[in-house]
Amino acid sequence: MSSLYNFDGLKVTAFESRRAEEIEKLIRYHGGVPRVAPSMREIPLSQSTDAHKFAKNLLAGNFDIVILMTGVGTRALVKAVITKYPEKEFIKALKKTTIVARGPKPVAALREMGLKANITVPEPNTWRDVLTTLENETDLKGKRVTVQEYGISNKEFISALRKKGAKVTPVSIYKWALPENLEPLRDAIKSIKNSKEDISIFTSSQQIYHLFEVASQDGSQDELKEGLKKIVIASIGPTTSETLNRFGISPDYEPDSPKMGNLIREMARLGKELVRKKRTAHKNGVDTNSWRQVDMIWSKGSKKKRKEITKNSVFMKACRLEETDYTPVWLMRQAGRYMREYRELRSKVSFLQLCKTPELAAEVTLSAVDRLAVDAAIIFADILLIVEPLGVGLEFSKGEGPRIKRPVRSGKAVDRINDFDPESLNYVYDALRITRRALDPEKALIGFAGAPFTVASYMIEGGGSRNYENTKGLMYRDPGAWHTIMEKLSIATAAYLNNQIKAGADVVQLFDSWVGCLSRDDYKEFVLPHMKKLISQIDKDAPVIHFGTGTGALLDLIKESGSQVIGLDWRVDLAKAWRQIGYDKAVQGNLDPVLLFSTPSEIRRRTKKILDKAKGRPGFIFNLGHGILPKTPVDNVLALIDFVHEYSTKK
Ligand code: CP3
């Protein structure tokens, strides 16, 4: 077991019944002190009238669609049915319907009977996923649908099906009862009320109902809620989280994949940090029963004191080439589509809307930091936001990336570009302010902008490009117009970044993602003077990170531009590149983002190589060589971050 996946003696309460022993072992294995209070008892309805009614209707051909919600419930249903009807006939009748499995567990139960689901619902398998999958596959109007339910009935789901015109018959297979012996549950409640627990783990909705039922029997529901304010709440998945919300409690953590082992392991990794955060929030008056990332208050002290702490954080020290206890790490594009939380949010709002809603942008920024345990936050925004107030039109179309509606292809078009009004991007500064207020003072907040060349390339091409024909075309054909657009963008970018710094950015990064397409001579003539001027205008309080890709042949020129930190892509050898740049500059990089599609052991092997090349020299910030890709497995990202911290820690 990695030392990072360790509760380090935290007290962890769980309410599992069926798998009580297993969860207790898991918690102990990860160094936690378990308290498992079984919260329910299963009453199999082997004489279930519901199950028998279901079978009778099924055999009579009265159902079009059979929805199986759980594996245990499916098996129980079959068991109950075959006490009265021949199994063969039952299976034959089932085969005539459209069988819908909510997830892998009912699929497995069906397989045991030699049956296959006609429709399988994708993760995270909530009832909403069942509904959308069904709607995509079939018209529900007038269909006779039966739903196998486990435990209490899901009224929202049933009524949503009815709203779509289906005729629904729920079959309730199991009923839950409180355990016969309520003492363990009462003790757990007492312990939570008395602040003797650190983490509370919920692995089903029913546990929450029962916990509150027992508390209300004793008249201590409010005290229980009060106690829950000081302990970290972990939820196995979206349905359990919804139930917690219904009781006015927001879960502090939910894993991507609803598996007990996952949840315990991830809590072992993040538990200490989350406990510290929640207790601090509670102490500072935040209502931690129901809160968002942006509600966090780390300190009620002065802003000056906060700034002082951040200034001495590992990340800021590395920017200034000072010794640190370990190598700081963050990842370009660390908040994005590879994260479930992000995808869920994006299914509700467009990318631009997300960028323009400060509370949401801040929430996304902060949840990535919480989840990854990186040393810096980067504000959620985009390098192209700045082109909108410049008047060229900006849209992000599905799957195609950014599009500029009126590409700038001539000197005249360059002249038509609006003067930049820094206030047009107030929403970015607001997001920074909210984020900085809620972010751990030990962590740096990174503001950013696109560098003029890269932003100009989008404005001129109208989108992404392979060869930059139009960009270089304008540059060679009309150098005057080229310098004008670069000048306009430099002025705008300096103002934009200085406003970001005023709003709370501790450091700023310039993304010159595509500048590597230029020759040295062209960089010197068409880019360098603008970069020098731009960087010299940025508030000296905030270090500048200057990043580009394909810049191996330009590094000495990039150094001349004047930033404090230089970003390296994965194509260069870190040791060679740093030697060439000189150890008077900090560097950031440079793992190939595609490596994150391999295995944790391969990731560790290659990360170690990079850390060894940096030799523990002051002024190294670990990052990828370019942004993280949308399909990257989160677990591999966690393995990377943990390894950087663990391996680089000065022993
Ligand atoms: O690092 C972070 O977490 C902060 C957020 C951030 C985004 N874009 C969010 C984003 C940052 C720092 C950027 C920078 C950016 N944007 C760059 C420079 C870095 C790089 O990768 O080279 C560039 C070239 C852009 C322009 C851009 N924005 C492109 C080409 C695309 C489409 C391609 C893609 O990856 O989807 C975007 C959209 C974009 N920017 C998304 C995100 C999370 C995806 C939007 C979505 O949710 O659909």
What secondary structure does DSSP assign to 599-629, as a single string?
A: -HHHHHHHHHHHHHHHTT-SSEEEEESSPPP
pLDDT at 407 over 50: yes
Q: Which domains does the chain have, with CATH numbers?
A: 11-40+182-291 (3.40.50.10090), 43-177 (3.40.50.10090), 326-648 (3.20.20.210)
User: What is d(CA 263, CA 204) in angstroms, rounded to the nearest whole number?
Assistant: 12
Q: Per-residue pLDDT tens for 572-589? A: 999 999 999 999 999 999
- What is the structure's pLDDT at 388? 98
Confidence of residue 3 (pLDDT cuts 50, 70, 90): low
Tokens describing residue 273: 């940090």
- What is the structure's pLDDT at 1? 39
Distance 161 CA to ligand 1 centre (A): 38
Q: Per-residue pLDDT tens for 425-483? A: 999 999 999 999 999 999 999 999 999 999 999 999 999 999 999 999 999 999 999 99
Residue of 369, 383, 388, 459 to test ligand 1 pocket, by largest number of atoms within 8 Å of CB: 383
- What is the structure's pLDDT at 152? 66
Select which of 19, 346, 437, 604 is catalytic.
346
Q: Per-residue pLDDT tens for 281-299? A: 999 999 999 999 999 999 8
- What is the structure's pLDDT at 335? 96
With a 6 Å cutoff on the Cβ, whether 623 touches ligand 1 is: no
Cβ atoms within 10 A of the Cβ of 122, count? 10
- What is the structure's pLDDT at 80? 84
User: What is d(CA 520, CA 538) in angstroms, rounded to the nearest whole number?
Assistant: 25
Residue 508 is classified by DSSP as E
Distance 382 CA to ligand 1 centre (A): 6
Calculate the CA 419 to chain-centre distance. 36
User: What is d(CA 322, CA 316) in angstroms, rounded to the nearest whole number?
Assistant: 9
pLDDT at 43 over 80: no
Select which of 458, 468, 496, 523 is catalytic.
458
- In ligand 1, which atom is closest to the CA atom of 509? 12
With a 6 Å cutoff on the Cβ, whether 367 touches ligand 1 is: no
With a 6 Å cutoff on the Cβ, whether 332 touches ligand 1 is: yes
Tokens describing residue 560: 């001349």
- Check if 466 is active-site: no
Q: Angle 178-251-342 (CA atoms, 0-180°, nearest 5)?
A: 135
With a 6 Å cutoff on the Cβ, whether 513 touches ligand 1 is: yes
| Mean of all residue pLDDT scores within the chain | 95
Extract the runs of DSSP E, i.e. beta strands, from 4-50.
11-14, 33-36, 41-44
Task: Report phi then psi at 512, rounded to 5.
Answer: -105, 60
Confidence of residue 153 (pLDDT cuts 50, 70, 90): confident
Residue with CA at minimum distance from ligand 1 atom 33: 401
State whether residue 437 is helix, strand or coil. helix
With a 6 Å cutoff on the Cβ, whether 403 touches ligand 1 is: no
Distance 49 CA to ligand 1 centre (A): 56
User: What is d(CA 403, CA 474) in angstroms, rounded to the nearest whole number?
Assistant: 19
Q: Per-residue pLDDT tens for 476-533? A: 999 999 999 999 999 999 999 999 999 999 999 999 999 999 999 999 999 999 999 9
With a 6 Å cutoff on the Cβ, whether 330 touches ligand 1 is: no
Distance 594 CA to ligand 1 centre (A): 16
- In ligand 1, which atom is closest to the CA atom of 334? 3
* Positive or negative: CA dihedral 294, 298, 299, 302: negative
Which residue blocks in 120-259 are alpha helix, DSSP H? Answer: 127-137, 155-163, 183-193, 205-217, 221-228, 238-246
- What is the structure's pLDDT at 82? 87
* Positive or negative: CA dihedral 449, 452, 454, 456: positive
pLDDT at 102 over 60: yes
Calculate the CA 290 to chain-centre distance. 19
User: What is d(CA 503, CA 47) in angstroms, rounded to the nearest whole number?
Assistant: 66
Tokens describing residue 26: 């898991």
pTM score of the predicted model: 0.85
Query: With 0-12 CB in 10 A as exposed, 13-18 as middle and 19+ as buried, what is 501?
Result: buried
Give the range among 350-359, 391-400, 479-488, 635-644 with minimum mean pLDDT.
391-400
State whether residue 556 is helix, strand or coil. helix
Select which of 370, 382, 506, 642 is catalytic.
382
- In ligand 1, which atom is closest to the CA atom of 514? 22
- What is the structure's pLDDT at 84? 87
User: What is d(CA 309, CA 17) in angstroms, rounded to the nearest whole number?
Assistant: 45
State whether residue 118 is helix, strand or coil. coil
With a 6 Å cutoff on the Cβ, whether 511 touches ligand 1 is: yes
With a 6 Å cutoff on the Cβ, whether 453 touches ligand 1 is: no
pLDDT at 651 over 70: no
- What is the structure's pLDDT at 266? 95
- Check if 337 is active-site: yes
pLDDT at 320 over 90: yes
Select which of 35, 75, 333, 371 is catalytic.
333
- Check if 612 is active-site: no
With a 6 Å cutoff on the Cβ, whether 346 touches ligand 1 is: yes
- Check if 437 is active-site: no
- Check if 150 is active-site: no
- What is the structure's pLDDT at 91? 93
H/E stretch holding 416 reads: helix 411-416
- What is the structure's pLDDT at 149? 85
Residue with CA at minimum distance from ligand 1 atom 38: 401
Distance 406 CA to ligand 1 centre (A): 20
pLDDT at 638 over 80: yes
